[in-house]
Amino acid sequence: MKTLLLSILIFSIPLSEAITLAHTPTQPTPPTSTSTSLLITLNNTTTIGNTVIAMCDSYNLNNPVASDSGSNSYTTDKDINNGPAENTIASAHIGTTSTTNTCTSGGSSPYWAPIIAEYSGVLASSPLDTTSSATGSGTAITCGTLTTTNANDLLIVTVQLVGGATFSSPSSGFTIESQATQPGYTASMMMDSVVSSTGSYSPSVTSNTSSSWVCIAAAYKAAAAPPASTNMMPMVQ
């Protein structure tokens, strides 16, 4: 009697890791005075391998830069303004845990309304797929058309509006995850969606205050799933 080894390939499904919001986004109570930098204590210590999305939104800001206590490297993925309203989104793959983030202005002292979010399942290297943006005034906020080239993406939308406001009625498939406000000066919001096919997405949201606003949308690629494994099974002849 002979025993042979039968090689069976077991494929991982899905082909990309599931993207999930790791923790409730950190939305600190904004200081009532201006400062060129703002130290933000995170709700949770970051996890190695995750991705942090930093939205250093403010009123009267100049080219903001994000950093953290773990000295992780942040890339500014998009930065636009509409008058005094400036909106920025930056991302970093976490190689060292951190407990704080810092938003730093490149010029004047702004009124801050930042939001920091952490996700698992995002591609570690060069995760940005594409971005879109729009500026305007009123209560109906749009963000241009985000045309993805990667099937499995995390879509992040961040809005900065002049004056205090609350946001509601996100477009289909999106969830408002956090809002921040500096009464009388600025308000910000972030919402997200995870998609599983390439396409064109036009995110929108409504503000209860009619004012100047700026919106950024960014798509981040999902990390690849673990490779297929090979199991050796005995076969008796």
Tokens of 170: 């996100």
pLDDT digits (tens, 9 = 90+) for 179-221: 988 878 888 999 999 999 999 999 999 999 999 999 999 999 9
Assess if residue 233 is contained within a domain: no
Q: Which pTM value belongs to this model?
A: 0.87
Assess if residue 1 is contained within a domain: no
- pLDDT score, position 9: 41
Assess if residue 236 is contained within a domain: no
Split into its structural domains, the chain has a count of 1
| 129 vs 229, residue with greater confidence | 129
- pLDDT score, position 150: 95
Mean pLDDT of all residues in 151-173: 94
- pLDDT score, position 32: 63
Residue 172 has pLDDT above 50, yes or no: yes
Report DSSP state, residue 175.
Answer: E
- Confidence at 12, pLDDT banded by 50, 70, 90: very low
Q: Which of 24-28, 39-43, 51-55, 197-201 has the lowest mean pLDDT?
A: 24-28
Interior angle at CA 26, CA 25 and CA 27, nearest 5? 110
- Confidence at 167, pLDDT banded by 50, 70, 90: very high
Assess if residue 230 is contained within a domain: no
pLDDT digits (tens, 9 = 90+) for 48-104: 999 999 999 888 767 889 999 999 999 999 999 888 888 899 999 999 999 999 999
Mean pLDDT of all residues in 1-6: 43
Assess if residue 123 is contained within a domain: yes
Assess if residue 85 is contained within a domain: yes
Q: In percent, how much of the chain has pLDDT > 90?
A: 65
CB-neighbour burial class of residue 167 (10 A; exposed 0-12, middle 13-18, buried 19+): buried
Residue 4 has pLDDT above 60, yes or no: no
Assess if residue 111 is contained within a domain: yes
Domain containing residue 69: 20-224
Tokens of 14: 């899905």
The residue ranges of DSSP E strands in 172-223, in sequence order, are 175-182, 186-195, 200-201, 204-221
Assess if residue 13 is contained within a domain: no
pLDDT digits (tens, 9 = 90+) for 126-143: 999 999 999 999 999 999
- pLDDT score, position 224: 80
- Confidence at 8, pLDDT banded by 50, 70, 90: very low
